[in-house]
Amino acid sequence: QKEVEQNSGPLSVPEGAIASLNCTYSDRVSQSFFWYRQYSGKSPELIMSIYSNGDKEDGRFTAQLNKASQYVSLLIRDSQPSDSATYLCAVKGDRGSTLGRLYFGRGTQLTVWP
């Protein structure tokens, strides 16, 4: 059973602050990691993919990966009220019968207040 754990939240930050979302995973061989944003009542939308240790930046979003610690995070700089959503961490299965599957955390609900 693959486990993906996210900080439970909800997380509330003021507009303009940095929001930090964290995720740990259990399978050491995993190589592909994704962050999805899900607005209330809508489907998940991919916002970041990361495959190598270190940081990956895309606009206001930075994904950080540390495979040794089995840890992946998402930083949102200059948070805006429009960033208020649930953020889902997903880890790709990379062994045997898990190939082709994504394992999702339960999500962290973020609220950015004006």
Partner 1 sequence: DGGITQSPKYLFRKEGQNVTLSCEQNLNHDAMYWYRQDPGQGLRLIYYSQIVNDFQKGDIAEGYSVSREKKESFPLTVTSAQKNPTAFYLCASRQGKEGQPQHFGDGTRLSIL
Which residues of this chain interact with partner 1, rule CB under 8 A?
31-32, 34, 42-46, 49, 51, 88, 90, 92, 97, 100-102, 104-107
Q: 60 in the Ramachandran plot: left (φ > 0), alpha (ψ -120 to 50) or beta?
A: alpha
Least separation in angstroms between CB 24 and partner 1: 15
| Angle value at C-alpha 42, between 79 and 58, nearest 5 degrees | 35
Q: First vs last Cα of the chain: how many Å apart?
A: 40
| Contact between 45 and 36 (Cβ < 8 Å) | yes
Cβ distance to partner 1 smaller for residue 44 or 79: 44
Q: Of 18 and 46, which has the nearer Cβ to partner 1?
A: 46
**Minimal distance, residue 6 CB to partner 1, in Å:** 9
Q: Judged by CB, which is closer to partner 1: 14, or 100?
A: 100
